[in-house]
Structure 1
């Protein structure tokens, strides 16, 4: 991590505290990944109802992401980090006190605000602090909080649920969020960057349909649909096959792979361009879903998990770095908020829509359906990511620059 050696002591301290907060945040959320669908099923829910409840998580992200992005730009990143972590600390306790599906949907939607706030502010703050010429490297390293948290969280959650039940599981998730809240308090909030004189802020729809945001948002929509399918139904799919595999191990294998690839992908993208690595991630998502779709033993499931982890470990950091390249500091929160809306919509739709598909054709064929979505993502990105087809192909395969990147002195 050579980039950190060049930073002064205060900046390194800020980044380390931020890293610790991110680790606790993702551990809290991920502890419920393999267990919450099973908890909802234990209350008598059908496949589609499980999908609706799990998908409600993204409703909170979808509604609040743009507003929280604006708040991060206008009031600073720290206040938005605190909002996200507070929601992560409070919400797990809500699962303990509600039993109806409607109430669970409301609690799950509220839980989604945590990522809308913390995820947006975290990426924006890391982008603020990263030197332009090493941005991919720093974002890659700081994004390690996700795979580490997603490795530790499901292992902890699965263990607590198996040996002690759901109540200790939800309490542990809340405690992790509370510790993260304490970590955020000493973070030094950078000065708010004012927009340049004689410039106007684009509205939500103007940003969304702008060339620099439109294609990344569509790609993130398709990634969100595919990832939502995995996160919502993998535990139930494995159970339905009769294969003896703890779903927590699937997430742990994916997280280890995601961790490993982030150690070098960010630095490499500074040299070879973001487009090549976004293309790689979409191809890897497709391969992962093919393995999961065709899995007939635990080993094949774990191979799919490893490839899926590599895809996730590349896609989100690289698209984040790409959007940081394309945004001025005073609009970075809004740009992330708008571009990540595609991901939120994908996760929102995945639960109920894919749940309906699962009811009709079963879990296995559902993952075949998800494979088609990532193939579509590949086609869109390699042909539409720049001003025309030749430039798009060159950018997508690392042979040309990002024409939408903003060069600053």
Structure 2
């Protein structure tokens, strides 16, 4: 009873917890306070007529005959007790601050997770442009290089559904730490892999880390942020990986020239270890539940399959760029692939948060469709261009399209499931992500020997075009249900 009356007096929830605002409730003339009618509601009407057989003339005070003077005395006495109570009202949600402004997204918990993600992804992208060249230096052919690069994504794809099942059951933090630790282990082992078989094994370990870490991290993000700003939050959190993409490839060449491949691997190991330490400090956001049945059908979220399918179509060309762009620029006499990936990351940093906000306001499909069309256009430029400025411009264009689609697709997948299935939704999304990357690298790697780089990237451009058409098919429908 004390909390509702204090809310009646002050009109606003306590600011220290970031609870929602409530307009002051000022009783109209003749109003009565009715104990037990709800959360401190003041009804501007007379109380119900007394039950039959009860006599008001005897002067007895029943619960529904408080006068305004009596009510004022009680409110003033209890307000002091309410001021000492810092608990949120039952069922309160922190969606809006008392000032009327949207709740802050970049909280300390969010920042810690963001820093862990940045360290892990920087360690990944630092080695990204070096591995195809390293594999070629070991005497591997183009199809073998595609297999070595692609098996990473396939290993990640295999582990993601299991990771989603575990994070919904046992919590997020353990899987988060395990994934980051596997990044560190794989980075340390690369210099010892001097032939195809050991290199494939290290790539499987590395891919397993990728299967675990992002699944848990994004599930935590969906727990931390309000649903109405989920697209914006996905864009903001994804900037950690994008910043790693901006910095990592740009540093890879100079770092290798200074430290050698082994030294770069040691540096990447240190970064992943720092990410593991930050993951250890991260607060778990999910409670342990009863063990759900471990069935293949129950590892994924069927509701999220549509945005996951669009994600797969968007990631086929992304996988092709990661595996074969370093070889393409070398064949065409362009200085470095690192600048291409840096420009992708710069565009991602610019567009992601804005695209997420737009998808929150306009709906996910209407943002995804034009973004995927831009991705397709950039790949057609890569297929035919030979001037360095055109190749680098295509990287910028690709980043704008991919950065526009990614947060909207991720939020779309999370929108379609209840909170208890968010781990599975993210597993579904990332399974499609890795299947697109790995499948694209292996299939397009086989196409490379037949069609060359021009044919490879022209074929890759067809995938996001199909995705754009499928997204357009959902534009006339209502906005995705947000849970």
> Within 1, Cα distance between the matches of 2:363 and 2:223?
20
Secondary structure of the residue aligned to 1:242 is coil
Residue 182 of structure 1 deviates from its aligned partner by 1.2
Q: Within the alignment, does 1:313 sit opposite 2:389 as a pair?
A: no
**Structure with the bigger percentage of helix:** 1
Deviations 1:69-94 (A, max 9, x none): 11111111111110110011110111
Residue 141 of structure 1 deviates from its aligned partner by 1.1
Secondary structure of the residue aligned to 2:139 is coil
Do the aligned partners of residues 293 and 277 (structure 1) sit closer, same or farther apart at CA in structure 2, a change above 3 Å counting?
same
> Please, which runs of 5 or more residues in structure 1 have no aligned partner?
384-391
Residue 209 of structure 1 deviates from its aligned partner by 8.4
> Within 2, Cα distance between the matches of 1:382 and 1:290?
21
Secondary structure of the residue aligned to 2:281 is coil
Do the aligned partners of residues 207 and 183 (structure 1) sit closer, same or farther apart at CA in structure 2, a change above 3 Å counting?
closer
For residue 115 of structure 1, the aligned residue among 201, 210, 216 is 210
Do the aligned partners of residues 53 and 202 (structure 1) sit closer, same or farther apart at CA in structure 2, a change above 3 Å counting?
closer
Computing the radius of gyration over CA atoms, which structure comes out larger, 1 or 2? 2
For residue 94 of structure 1, the aligned residue among 180, 185, 189 is 189
Q: Within the alignment, does 1:259 sit opposite 2:259 as a pair?
A: no
For residue 246 of structure 2, the aligned residue among 142, 151, 159 is 151
Secondary structure of the residue aligned to 1:45 is coil
Do the aligned partners of residues 16 and 357 (structure 1) sit closer, same or farther apart at CA in structure 2, a change above 3 Å counting?
same
- Range that drifts further, 180-189 or 200-209: 200-209
- CA RMSD of superposed structures (Å): 2.4
For residue 428 of structure 2, the aligned residue among 325, 332, 338 is 338
Matches within 5 A, 1:351-370: 351-370=441-460
Deviations 1:103-159 (A, max 9, x none): 111111211112211111111110111111222122211111011010111122221
- 1:291 maps to 381
For residue 164 of structure 1, the aligned residue among 259, 268, 275 is 259
Do the aligned partners of residues 37 and 332 (structure 1) sit closer, same or farther apart at CA in structure 2, a change above 3 Å counting?
same
Contact 2:231 2:356 in 1 (8 A): yes
- 2:467 maps to 377
> Within 2, Cα distance between the matches of 1:309 and 1:252?
9
For residue 307 of structure 2, the aligned residue among 202, 216, 223 is 216
Larger RCO: 1 or 2 (CA < 8 Å, sep 6+): 1
For residue 479 of structure 2, the aligned residue among 389, 401, 408 is 401
Do the aligned partners of residues 126 and 350 (structure 1) sit closer, same or farther apart at CA in structure 2, a change above 3 Å counting?
same
Do the aligned partners of residues 72 and 207 (structure 1) sit closer, same or farther apart at CA in structure 2, a change above 3 Å counting?
closer
Do the aligned partners of residues 363 and 32 (structure 1) sit closer, same or farther apart at CA in structure 2, a change above 3 Å counting?
same
For residue 77 of structure 1, the aligned residue among 151, 162, 172 is 172
Residue 164 of structure 1 deviates from its aligned partner by 2.9
> Within 2, Cα distance between the matches of 1:3 and 1:35?
46
Contact 1:289 1:371 in 2 (8 A): yes
> Within 2, Cα distance between the matches of 1:55 and 1:332?
27
Residue 184 of structure 1 deviates from its aligned partner by 1.5
Deviations 1:317-376 (A, max 9, x none): 111111111121211101211232222212221222111110112112211111122222
Matches within 5 A, 1:27-38: 27-38=122-133
Q: Within the alignment, does 1:125 sit opposite 2:220 as a pair?
A: yes
Contact 1:86 1:181 in 2 (8 A): yes
Deviations 1:31-76 (A, max 9, x none): 1111110110111111111000000101211211111111111111
Q: Within the alignment, does 1:14 sit opposite 2:104 as a pair?
A: no
Contact 1:48 1:351 in 2 (8 A): no
> Please, which runs of 5 or more residues in structure 2 have no aligned partner?
1-94
> Within 2, Cα distance between the matches of 1:18 and 1:153?
19
